Chain A
Amino acid sequence: MKIKSNKPIKIRKFYFRELNILIALIVLSVFITVMNPKFITPFNLQVVARQIAIYGLLAIGETLIIIGGGIDLSVGSLVALTGVLVALFMKNGIDMIIAIILVLIISSLIGLWHGFFVTKLNVPPFIITLGTLTAARGFASVITKGWPIIGLPEKFFFIGQGYIWGIPFPTLIFIAFALLAFFITKYTVLGRNLYAVGGNIEAARLSGVDVDKVRIFTYVFSSFLAGITGIIIASRLSQGQAGVGGGYELSAIAAAVIGGTSLSGGEGTILGTVIGASIMSVIHNGLILLEISSYWHDVVMGLVIVTAVTIDIWRKKKR
């Protein structure tokens, strides 16, 4: 009985964390709508929803890695590499489904590579994923020799351009993975162990948690999601291009951090990250609707990230 009476306390606390940024998102949306009512048109909302999917997919992977005490700088470049690869495979007559599966296997293996270096060889995650950041994009350029790979099969375009019940297909993919990640973090032993590893890796190890397995999982999952994102973008652009995804890793980290994920590990929620990715996308879209020069976009994003993190730290200290 006692247990049951305690339960609501937990639930209230849980939602409170995300409430602040949810309010920020709503205020932001209202503000942009007032400044330019176009924001709320179905077409624009579709644009925003698709953008959220791109940031969000990468941010989910990044969130899990950061909760476990790591970081992944490679996802932007992996988006480029996987996009080029899926185009290359199809261009060479491989069936679309098989091409997609192959690309996802390759991207997962790259994640396994990261996890192996981090856990078994003790290479800092920053370094090993920085290596991939450079190498993966380089490899993508080697394959394309600077030219986009075009002439892909028509049925491939649905992934990035299609709609179901008016919702962009990428958004549906994103929702599916967000639900999966939410379930993992909240209701599985793996997820719990992930928070434990990020919170205190030595205590987790001494409690019998397979800390290596948990960390490797996050790197594989993140790279896998980068593969999904790469395929979506290639489909959206109808081509494989080595230049896409530049700086996406930082947007993904920013979305996670705005959503309350702590860079020191052990803290963060998928719900927060989804809202964080939404805020990023809405601001991005808002700047376009307010006709602010695109040169200013990165400046604004930088300020938003610093503000969000500072408020979060300040709020924690006060508590």
Chain B
Amino acid sequence: MNQELILKMEKISKSFPGVQALSDVDLEVFKGEILALVGENGAGKSTLMKILTGVYQKDKGRIIFKGKEINPQNPHEAQKLGISIIYQEFNLAPNLDIATNIFLGNEPRKGKIIKLFDYHKAFQESYKLLNLLTLNLSPDTLVKDLTVAQQQMVEIAKALAQKSELIIMDEPTSALAGKEVQKLFEIMKKLKEERISIIFITHRLEEVFEIADRIIVLRDGKRVGELPAQKDKYDEVIKMMVGREVSVAPKPPTKQDTIILEVKNLSSKKIKNISFYLKKGEVLGIAGLVGSGRTEIIRAIFGADPKIYGEIYLDGKKVEINSPKDAIKLGIGLVPEDRKLQGLILNMAVFENISLASLKYLFPNGIIKSALEYTLAQKFVEKLQIKTPSIFQKVVNLSGGNQQKVVLAKWLALRPKILILDEPTRGIDVGAKAEIHKLIGEMAKEGIGIILISSELPEILALSDRILVVSKGRITAELTKEEATQEKIMQYAII
């Protein structure tokens, strides 16, 4: 095989406040190759690709593309060099037609003084590209009238129109049905024949073995291995993907006698027939990839999203939950996935955020007694050791870990029976993480039933008494603490 290098990334490092996202990562791509980049959520795949396409700037390292060192400052610059990325969410203008979209920002011009958009040329070029991609559509079709798979083809055509020699596809198959996936693979093979290189990011290992030539595995921001994409390497890849070295102190055992929550056949737009139970004092882990439906399950229980079908029993009694308000009244709390967008009122003070959910229970006549409110906030600031100059500080000024503690305090102030934690330690520093882990144990000890969602398998394994694995909106496995391992969870998560 002609092993001509097109891209070489050397010792790329990148850190964000509190997190080392990438350390000394090497990556090379050969001409006309399909390279699969795999790894768990948070392994650093996206960050690495964002550095390559100029979305982020690297702290250290070199990028050599076609023999020259490059340093793209933004995606447009990377595109001009011949590197295109196709995201999960497409960057198309839905109200414009295919031809205009393909040449958006790269329009063919005509005229001498005033350079007009040469639509005729764009149309013809688009026609050729669509033909190449075996897409039987007129270039003047509006993008909003296309299926997801067709829109993806338009994205690929756009990359080709810009003469890209390296195309990055970020989870291109996640939104496609089986037949469409096969069609995409045919196109990828065709591009390969045209000597275009592809970096293929995916969670679905079967697809990797079907289409890719080579696999590079990332874990915790490091490159942990490189393998040829052969079917018999399946277990080896999984072993490389998991096996993280993060150590999480295990939760001490807690008393778990009665069942407090039972969910039967819960279904919504994105989840199907979810049934499980939760005991008092138990930590129930829900593992699964981002987009597997794990967040949708708990949002449906909490009343944040409408459920289509299903029953919820609390302490053996059937309950109706149609809004977060209902759930809170029944003693359920939710620490949402995105603390800045869903968990906090950033411009409000620490004390105002802590008391927000409890106000109407604390002050049933509607009038706030400041002294009582301050005392409550102060109590939780001390109990959770929230580092803030005072309870009057705006939460926007706190660090991520302390912000998350404020969200936790908001729910603990309500004395919930059930607390749902969706990625409670995402994006916070190691110290705060350990404190939150300890807190989860303490809450369970006090008899709170806890549902814990996390992308970090060591966290799930150390803290959970029982683990549900979710994939494509269904529960694919229920594992006890004893039988669960990172490999097992990963196997069920990518089913």
B-contacting residues of A (Cβ < 8 Å)? 2-3, 6-7, 9-10, 13, 187-190, 192-193, 195-196, 199-200, 202-210, 266-267
Contact = CB atoms under 8 A, between A and B. Distances in A.
A224 B94 CA distance: 43
B357 A208 contact: yes
Contacts of A13: 392
A206 B378 contact: no
A3 B350 CA distance: 13
Interface stretch (B170-178, B194-202, B336-344): B336-344
5 contacts: A6-B390, A203-B342, A205-B324, A208-B327, A267-B347
A195 B370 CA distance: 16
Contacts of A210: 325
B410 A199 contact: no
B155 interface: no
Interface string B371-406: 100110010000000000011100000000000000
A192 B368 contact: yes
The CB with the most chain B CB atoms within 10 A, among A13, A188, A192, is that of A192
Interface string B320-347: 0001110111000010100001111111
A189 B375 contact: no
A6 B334 CA distance: 30
A207 B302 CA distance: 11
Contacts of B368: 187-189, 192
Given A206-B336, A206-B342, A195 B348 contact: yes
B348 A199 contact: yes
Interface stretch (B30-38, B138-146, B359-367): B359-367
Contacts of A202: 341-342
Nearest to B328: A208
Given A9-B392, A207-B410, A196 B325 contact: no
A190 B356 CA distance: 11
B374 A3 contact: yes
B282 interface: no
B324 A206 contact: yes
Interface string B429-449: 000000000000000000000
Shortest 9 CB-CB contacts between residues of A and residues of B: A208-B328, A199-B345, A207-B357, A6-B390, A189-B359, A3-B374, A208-B325, A207-B356, A200-B345
B465 interface: no
A2 B345 CA distance: 24
A192 B410 CA distance: 15
Contacts of B355: 192
B304 interface: yes
B336 A204 contact: no
Given A189-B363, A192-B355, 17 more contacts: A3-B371, A3-B375, A3-B391, A6-B390, A190-B366, A192-B359, A193-B359, A199-B346, A203-B342, A206-B304, A206-B324, A206-B336, A206-B343, A207-B356, A207-B410, A208-B360, A266-B348
Interface string B169-192: 000000000000000000000000
Contacts of B360: 189, 208
Given A2-B378, A209-B356, A188 B366 contact: yes
B341 A203 contact: yes
Contact of B356 (A2, A7, A188, A196): A196
A6 B363 CA distance: 23
A188 B364 CA distance: 10
Contacts of A199: 345-348
A192 B378 CA distance: 18
Contacts of B325: 208-210
A21 to B, nearest CB: 20
A192 to B, nearest CB: 6
B352 interface: yes
Nearest to B363: A189
B348 A196 contact: yes
The CB with the most chain B CB atoms within 10 A, among A7, A203, A206, is that of A206
A17 to B, nearest CB: 13
B140 to A, nearest CB: 32
B357 to A, nearest CB: 4
Nearest to B370: A187
A13 B323 CA distance: 36
Contacts of A190: 366
Contact of B345 (A3, A203, A208): A203
A204 B328 contact: no
Contacts of B346: 199-200
Nearest to A204: B345
A200 B341 contact: yes
Contact of B366 (A2, A6, A189, A267): A189
A10 B392 contact: yes
Contacts of B378: 2-3
Contacts of B348: 195-196, 199, 266
Given A3-B375, A189-B359, A189-B368, A208 B324 contact: yes
The CB with the most chain A CB atoms within 10 A, among B325, B336, B346, is that of B325
A122 B348 CA distance: 26
A6 B392 contact: yes
Contacts of B392: 6, 9-10, 13
Contacts of B366: 188-190
A190 B352 CA distance: 13
A281 B186 CA distance: 72
A284 to B, nearest CB: 32
Given A3-B391, A188-B368, A200 B334 contact: no
A196 B353 CA distance: 9
Contacts of B371: 3
B324 to A, nearest CB: 5
B344 A6 contact: no
A199 B356 CA distance: 12
Contacts of B391: 3, 6
Contacts of B347: 199, 266-267
A297 B370 CA distance: 44
Nearest to A264: B347
Contact of A266 (B323, B329, B345, B363): B345
Given A203-B342, A206-B324, A267-B347, A192 B352 contact: yes
B302 to A, nearest CB: 8
Contacts of B302: 206
